[in-house]
Amino acid sequence: MQDYPRDRFPALLARLEPRPWHTAARFLLRSGGARVMVDDLLRPHAAAVIMPAPSLSGAYLLSLGDAEPLRDFLAEEPGISRLWVSDAQTERLINETLFGDQRTDLTILAATDGWQLPPLERTHIHTRPLGPPDAAAVTRLLRGEGEWLTDAFGSVAALLAEGLADGVEEGGNLVAIAATWAIAPPYAEVGAHTDRNARGKGYATACAHSLMTAVAAKGLLPQWTAFTDNVTSLGLAQLLGLVPVDTGVEYRRDE
């Protein structure tokens, strides 16, 4: 697999569009934060979009007609510990590699044409937009299990400066956040995280609801990715009027 010019990749991806699955890959390329590798510079049949530093642990794999070259990519990139795929051909190939045992099905939900954000039953929860001055509070909240929310932007500072985020405070501390994980028109991928001690109070739903209002005001369609067996996450997305539009698989390298 060889490095491929990012500015030429949208033409390759156009073979597979439109698919909400590719929102994150498109965002990473547009932001300049990702590498693209293909099997053949002149006539690519397979491609990988590699997450930027400091992550460097994940890659979106795309079959453009032949997934077999991706086998070499996996052998050449031992630092890649997570993979995301959405086509059956690549999925079959991955199931035969070292990644085969640890897989989780994903469901991508999104607003469709004519979408309107449903009203929330709980209206007493106060949310507010978050920006660069909130960087320290957001960093504390996301430290550990919530750090995935900054993967695509690369840092809390970049997320708050270039993306959108809303939060909920309790006792003067930020305890919940919803933020854009990736933005690639017409979609904005949204994610949420709540402090363990503040869960079960509707904070994540309230944050996501207010954030999706801001996303829609910018002419974008909200999108949400959930592990297919995560009933809570799926239910939250559906509560906000999103419907399943795509599927994929996340793989983790076997220990």
- CATH number, domain of 210, equals 3.40.630.30
**Among candidates 142, 150, 190, 181, which has minimal Cα distance to 27?**
181
| pLDDT (tens digit per residue) in 168-189 | 999 999 999 999 999 988 899 9
DSSP 8-state class, residue 162: H
Residue 63's nearest CA partner among 34, 27, 90 is: 90
Q: What is the mean pLDDT of residues 14-43?
A: 80
pLDDT at 115 over 60: yes
Starting at the edge strand found earlier in the chain, the sheet holding 128-129 runs: 2-3, 35-38, 46-50, 58-63, 82-85, 243-252, 102-110, 221-227, 187-194, 173-184, 165-170, 128-129
Domain boundary among 52, 81, 100: 100
The answer, yes or no, to whether the previous bond of 186 is cis (omega within 30 of 0) is: yes
In this prediction the pTM is: 0.86
Q: pLDDT tens digits for 36-83?
A: 999 999 999 999 998 876 555 788 999 988 999 998 888 888 778 888
Predicted confidence at residue 133, as pLDDT, reads 97
Give the pLDDT of residue 55.
56
Q: Under a CB-based contact definition with an 8 Å cutoff, are residues 54 and 8 in contact?
A: no
Closest CA to 197 of 171, 231, 179: 171
DSSP state of 146: T
pLDDT of residue 255 exceeding 60: no
Q: Residue 122 domain-assigned?
A: no
**Any domain includes 117:** no
Helix 203-217 vs helix 231-239: angle between axes, to the nearest 10 degrees?
Answer: 50
Task: Report residue 94 as tokens.
Answer: 């991955």
Structural domain contains residue 105: no
142 and 35 within one domain: no
Whole-number pLDDT of residue 57 = 77
Structural domains counted in the chain: 2
Q: Is residue 176 in some structural domain?
A: yes
Confidence of residue 97 (pLDDT cuts 50, 70, 90): confident
- Of 75-79, 150-154, 227-231, the range with the highest mean pLDDT is 227-231
- 148 in a domain, yes or no? yes
What band does 20 get if pLDDT is binned at 50, 70 and 90?
A: confident
Report the C-alpha gap between 113 and 104 in whole angstroms.
Answer: 29
pLDDT given at position 164: 97
The reply to whether 66 falls in a domain is: yes
Q: Are residues 68 and 158 in the same domain?
A: no
The pLDDT of residue 22: 80
Are the beta carbons of 152 and 27 closer than 8 angstroms? Answer: yes
Residues facing 173 on adjacent strands: 170
Task: Classify residue 112: in a domain, yes or no.
Answer: no
Cα separations in angstroms, 172 against 110, 145, 175, 217, 219: 33, 22, 9, 28, 33
Confidence (pLDDT) at 17: 62
Q: Taking the mean position of all CA atoms in its chain, how far away is CA 136?
A: 23
In eight-state DSSP terms, residue 198 is: G
Is the domain of 169 the same as that of 216?
yes
Residue 56 sits in a domain whose CATH number is 3.40.630
Provide the domain limits for residue 60. 2-100
Average pLDDT over every residue of 141-147:
93
